[in-house]
Amino acid sequence: PRARTAMPSWVIDRYGSNEVLRFTRDMMFPIIHFPNEVIIKVHAASLNPIDLSMRSGYGATALNMKRDPLKLKAGETEFPLTLGRDVSGVVMECGLGVSYFKPGDEVWAAIPPWKQGTLSEFVVASGNEVSFKPKCLSHTEAAALPYVGLTAWSALNQVGGLNQSNCSGKRVLILGASGGVGTFAVQLMKAWDAHVTAVCSHDASTLVKKLGADDVIDYKSGSLEEQLKTLPLFDFILDNVGGSTEKWALDLLKKWSGATYVTLVTPFLINMDKLGVADGMLQTGVTVGSKTLKHLLKGVHYRWAFFMPSGPSLDEIAELVDSGKIQPVIDEVFSFSEVPKAFLKLEGGHARGKTVINVINRQ
């Protein structure tokens, strides 16, 4: 058979709103450049808020620096750019340095945002970003978990220091509990035996209770701050919401006990877009440094967390999934031809879990 040089893909050629999405059959077929890379045939992908942000150009300064740090590709741009971070599929080809996977293996991964994404027939990933797909899930179900799972894992485990052996009896507050990261975080904290208070809107409370939350607070029924102040203090807060929440949320933590607030809403990429790389990084460092110090003096820890690609962390998540402790929460599934419709759905907000795309129809 002749070598494949092109494949179907959804791309953008400029930043903007939904009309910039374009379907093409002529996207360049991915090539293995490094010995540790694998090419995956995408069976299913899913959308995350970062896809909406990237479609609009958010983070372009930092991501382009990561794509081409030495500015070697003069005149080249990031376009055509394929969005989509999650993939569940089958390994098609392995680099010479890959010993852990072989063609035909069913895998899942979250591809970092500086690489070409997964709304495509094939995608290339580093072997250390890939993990064996949980056996109990279909590709459609599995595609809902990697990006949100690794984001929550980064915040709770790597940055927050929580793990299976130190969570028992801890009081954990999750702000924004009904989205992708929130639904995963609730389940992970319950799997690790914490007491979970979840904040979401009233119509999502049944779902969040079903996932195991001990207390569910409706942020629309009166002042959220006042409602939370009536509860005992917390050991840990995960903030998926940001905004003005930060002004009062840290007062809900137990002082001088190692209690920690971790937010996933950070100005890192915005600062670099606005101020350029050097000044943006400086501004970001000053902000996180001053906030950390300010709250440390009040007896609580303040941290930022980001998504981090990691095959080994996905291995641990797969074990939790296969043991029945974590399940994907899927809001709606779209076919590959309906990608723009899926973006509009995500843009509408108030998702209950994830928006998944079946890239090939046999799942």
CA 43-44-47 angle, 5° bins: 155
- How many structural domains does the chain have? 2
- The answer as to whether 311 is a domain residue is no
71: left (phi over 0), alpha (psi -120 to 50) or beta: left
pLDDT in tens, the chain (363 residues): 456 789 999 999 999 999 999 999 999 999 999 999 999 999 999 999 999 999 999 999 999 999 988 878 767 789 999 999 999 999 999 999 999 999 999 999 999 999 999 999 999 999 999 999 999 999 999 999 999 999 999 999 999 999 999 999 999 999 999 999 999 999 999 999 999 999 999 999 999 999 999 999 999 998 999 999 999 999 999 999 999 999 999 999 999 999 999 999 998 888 888 998 889 999 999 999 999 999 999 999 999 999 999 999 999 999 999 999 999 999 999 999 999 999 999 999 887 899 999 999 754
> 201: which residues sit within 8 A by CB, 6+ positions away?
178, 218, 219, 220, 350
Instruction: Note whether residue 312 is domain-resident.
Output: no
| Domain identity same for 114 and 185 | no
Q: Is residue 22 part of a domain?
A: yes
Q: Are residues 140 and 211 in the same domain?
A: no
For residue 285, being part of any structural domain is answered with yes
120: domain CATH number is: 3.90.180.10
By CB atoms closer than 10 A (0-12, 13-18, 19+), residue 144 is buried
Please indicate, yes or no, whether residues 42 and 135 belong to a single structural domain of this protein.
yes
In a domain, 278, yes or no: yes
Q: Are residues 296 and 203 in the same domain?
A: yes
Are both 88 and 116 inside the same structural domain?
Answer: yes
Residue 211 makes CB contacts below 8 A (sequence gap 6+) with: 183, 186, 187, 190, 329
- 180 and 128 part of one domain: no
Residue 28 covered by a domain: yes
- 348 and 291, same structural domain? no
For residue 216, is it within any domain?
Answer: yes
Per residue in 52-80, pLDDT (tens digit) is 999 999 999 999 999 988 878 767 789 99
Q: How far apart are CA 335 and CA 210, in angstroms?
A: 28
CATH code, domain carrying 197: 3.40.50.720
> Residues in the chain, how many?
363
Please answer whether residues 52 and 119 qualify as being in contact, where contact means their C-beta atoms are separated by less than 8 angstroms: no
Separation between Cα atoms, residue 151 and residue 246, nearest integer Å: 19
Specify the DSSP element, H or E, that contains 21: strand 21-28
Q: Is residue 86 situated within a structural domain? A: yes
Per residue, what are the HEC states of 111-149?
Answer: CCCCCCCCCECEEEEEHHHEEECCCCCCHHHHCCCHHHH
Count Cα neighbours of 22 within 13 Å in the Cβ-side half-sphere: 14
Give the separation between CA 360 and CA 89, rounded to whole angstroms.
10
Residue range(s) defining the domain that contains residue 42 = 6-145+328-358
